[in-house]
Amino acid sequence: MKAGFFTRDFLTSLPSDNLEASVAIIDEFTRRFEDSDYSKEDLKDYLEAYAIFCTFIKARKMDIQISSLDGLVNWREIENHVYSFVLERGKVLRETLAKRTTETILSDTEAEYTGIFSSEQTYEFSDKDIQHVQKLTDELRTLISSSTLIDDQHKRRLLRRLEAMQRELHKHTSDIDRFWGFVAEAGIVSRKFGEDMKPISDRVFELGKIVLAVILAKEGVHALPEITKLFLPE
């Protein structure tokens, strides 16, 4: 396609989140086509871009009705149909993503500051702990995304839970449910792939020690559970 349109690097680096990934595809499509004077000779570009988007929708099992090109024979009709389809879906998806982003910011901010304003005891992380957590989270994101062992489905699940956990962990945190969700998912994947997952497992173990220490301090418990049993194959 023209100028490396929808390059392999672009497609393999799409976000694990379906909504964010679909908006990224649509933004790239729009950027390439909106100001271009395409002709009949460029119809292949339109059809390839359309096929890639439709394949993505099917592969990610998204609830988006794919528009059929049946009955369209004129190249200009096909071009207009594809462009309209992508723009219409893009408008809806961007609005949905913006709404979700707003709700997430409000929810995460509320969760963070509830601990400050409420009399309820919260989980207290030091600045050093938070910096270390963020560093481990960034390293995990890179390792998971670049893994050639973990399949795409497990990658998306791990990355979604990792991102949710990162949003949850603040200096004053009232809830850590998303941390447990990520640990459980990471434990399943680690046991599935065994020793080959060690770089990821090591960082999850290190992350777990930080968070568990904070949890135990809040609860007044001094013995650290053997979290490695979650990740090392028997």
Which two three-digit tokens encode residue 218?
Answer: 């809040």
Residues 110 and 118: beta-carbon distance below 8 Å: no
Rounded to whole angstroms, the Cα distance separating 66 from 123 reads 46
pLDDT tens-digit series, residues 144-199:
888 888 888 888 888 888 888 888 777 777 777 888 888 888 888 887 777 678 88
Burial 64-96 (b: 16+ CB within 10 A, else e): beeeeeeeeeebeebbebbbebbeebbeebeee
List of residues 6+ apart from 44 with CB closer than 8 A: 1
Residue ranges of the domains in the chain? 2-97, 121-230
pLDDT at 95: 93
Q: What global pTM score does this model have? A: 0.55
Least trusted range by pLDDT, from 38-42, 43-47, 129-133, 172-176? 38-42
Least trusted range by pLDDT, from 8-12, 93-97, 160-164, 199-203? 8-12
pLDDT at 227: 55
Answer with the residue of higher pLDDT: 195 or 135. Answer: 135
pLDDT band at 216 (very low <50, low <70, confident <90, very high): confident
